[in-house]
Amino acid sequence: MTTNIIELHDVSKSIHDHVILHDLNLEVRNGEFLTLLGPSGCGKTTLLRLISGFENPTTGKIFINGKNVDGLPPHKRHVHTVFQSYALFPHMTVFENVAFGLRCRKLPKAEIATRVAEVLKIVKLEKFAQRKPDQLSGGQQQRVAVARAVVNRPLVLLLDEPLSSLDYRLRKTMQIELKQLQRKLGITFIFVTHDQEEALSMSDRVVVMHEGGIEQVGTPRQVYEQPQNLTVANFIGEANIFDSEILSIEGKQLGVNILGKPRNAKSSRSFELGQKVHILVRPEDLRVWKQVDVDDSKDMLPGTVEEVIYKGTTVDLMVRLSNNQIVAATEFFDEDDDKLEYAIGEPVFATWVPGWEVVLPHETL
Ligand SMILES: Nc1ncnc2c1ncn2[C@@H]1O[C@H](COP(=O)(O)OP(=O)(O)O)[C@@H](O)[C@H]1O
Ligand SMILES: [Mg+2]
């Protein structure tokens, strides 16, 4: 049985009649790495502020560790936040920065020393205890900020875009470090990012947010491979989207047509005959064949090569289809890699393995 460390029941937040968050229902499992993912302005920080108690919800209830926290001040919630700016005290050493919260709580000196040493060891900063923040690298400052929060032994650690100011390589390293640290500490992390790759690579589960609402909650694999709707599909990864219509239904097997060509598709959702749908195909699932190599093209989509982008491990192709729609395909090298020599303007067919598409009900965005 999994227990929920945090539950949100029908939570909403309005500021001066402006709805910032609406109808939020969410269960955060004890010990998980949960990521709030969504574009800037969708309400991620506001949601963290409701959980930490710096703001109160307009409607709904929040439970932390089984207890309704309505009216409970931040310092009594056992929830700590790591901010993007780290907010370290510049005049204090690493040790003093980490000890600060414990000193405020007037813990015995010896206990403070033990706990700070323990946490500095976990974040691999035991040799840096006497340094000041400006004598540390960006990644080390980040670790001090985390150490300062976890030394209080919170039930939940909230991290609001903590990696967004780091350069690309440090960011990649810190992603792995934070994930390992979370596993080692066993504390629930609620991590915020607008970067979908970061969310997919770090999380046990991802909460996809859009305009103040939750669009989907699932494992990285679920939100990528089975997006709930077009918003999720477009925000996570790249997707080629075709307009189509359901022509036949036999259990999970669907007959659809794409650019006038009949195709088979598969979905565990239910659809009606004649229903308008979107067919979504990820670039890595779209295959491109030179027309001269194809004998039977009855369910393939004709087009011409618009652009060829060499990426080292892959070649990305942009293909202009007969209706002028441009689709993206990622081709992987194999032993026969001259197959990947494409000329601009070359006639090709685009296709994919039936069943590898995602069928979504039609939406007007
Ligand atoms: N104190 C406030 N007063 C008015 N509007 C606010 C306030 N705080 C946030 N907002 C608005 O709420 C929306 C969500 O903001 P925020 O939670 O910071 O989003 P995110 O962290 O996802 O970028 C934004 O449109 C923002 O302008
Ligand atoms: Mg924010």
Q: Mean of the per-residue pLDDT values for the chain?
A: 92
CATH superfamily of 4-234: P-loop containing nucleotide triphosphate hydrolases (3.40.50.300)
Ligand 1 in reach of 45 Cβ (< 6 A): yes
Confidence of residue 298 (pLDDT cuts 50, 70, 90): confident
Asked if domains 4-234 and 238-361 share a fold, the reply is no
What is the Cα–Cα distance from 80 to 64, expressed in whole angstroms? 13
Domain 238-361 has CATH 1.10.3720.10: no
Tell me the HSE value of 341 on the side-chain side, using a 13 A CA sphere.
3
Q: Span 27-56, mean pLDDT?
A: 97
> How many residues would you count in the chain?
365
User: pTM for this structure?
Assistant: 0.90
Ligand 1 in reach of 54 Cβ (< 6 A): no
pLDDT in tens, 251-266: 999 999 999 999 999 9
User: Phi/psi of residue 362, each to 5°?
Assistant: -65, 135
Ligand 1 in reach of 8 Cβ (< 6 A): no
Pairing label, strands 253-258, 261-266 = antiparallel
Class of residue 82 by CB neighbours under 10 A (exposed 0-12, middle 13-18, buried 19+): buried
- Domain residue spans of the chain: 4-234, 238-361
Q: Whose CA is nearest to atom 11 of ligand 1?
A: 20
Question: Cα 141 to the chain's mean position, in Å?
Answer: 24
Q: Whose CA is nearest to atom 8 of ligand 1?
A: 46
pLDDT for 338: 63
pLDDT for 314: 87
